[in-house]
Amino acid sequence: MALLPILQYPDPRLHKVAKLVVAVTDETRRLIRDMSETMYAAPGIGLAATQVDVHERIIVMDISEAHNDLKVFINPELIEQSGEEEGEEGCLSVPGIYEKVRRAERVTVRALNESGEPFTLTADGLLAVCIQHEMDHLEGHVFVEHLSHLKQTRIRAKLKKQRRETL
């Protein structure tokens, strides 16, 4: 397994729309293992393939305290959403930035697992937020794009300053 580099906002590659996975292969499963290792090492609770510059519809996430409940979504599709809530979000591609974002309170998603088998999952709370956040990545969107233009500009400036300071 290998740690993969995570793209940093506002990298234009984060805005590419991911393509459907045609077949779940050993290469797909290797990517899932590498993405999972990268997510845990970061540390994070979710990672979309887009964030590691692979533009396929694959998401890994684990919101458990013990990091022992990995969920894999291949070709995820939101089939139902209800309610609305606002919560603070962060992102491995936007390090150190946390902002309130409005999301559906409850979602139902249909996807394939790492064996290529279809499943449906209904989620609420943090899991629902994480699913929506990571699915945004597959559509070429980063969570800060849910914010006002002014906040986005401030975030870009802050990240630029952080990068200069680490060089």
Query: Which one is catalytic: 134, 139, 145, 165?
Result: 134
Q: Quick one: pLDDT at residue 165?
A: 82
Number of domains in the chain: 1
**Which of 92, 54, 94 minimizes the C-alpha distance to 74?**
54
Has residue 4 been placed in a domain? no
With 0-12 CB in 10 A as exposed, 13-18 as middle and 19+ as buried, what is 51?
Answer: buried
- Mean pLDDT in the chain? 96
Q: Which residues pair with 106 in a beta bridge?
A: 82, 124
Residue 127 · residue 106 · CB < 8 Å:
no
Q: Is 165 a catalytic residue?
A: no
Residue 133 · residue 143 · CB < 8 Å:
yes
pTM of the complete model: 0.95
Has residue 7 been placed in a domain? no
CATH code for position 46: 3.90.45.10
pLDDT tens-digit readout, 65-84: 999 999 999 999 999 999 99
Report the percentage of the chain scoring pLDDT > 90. Answer: 92
pLDDT band at 92 (very low <50, low <70, confident <90, very high): very high
Q: Which domain holds residue 103?
A: 12-166
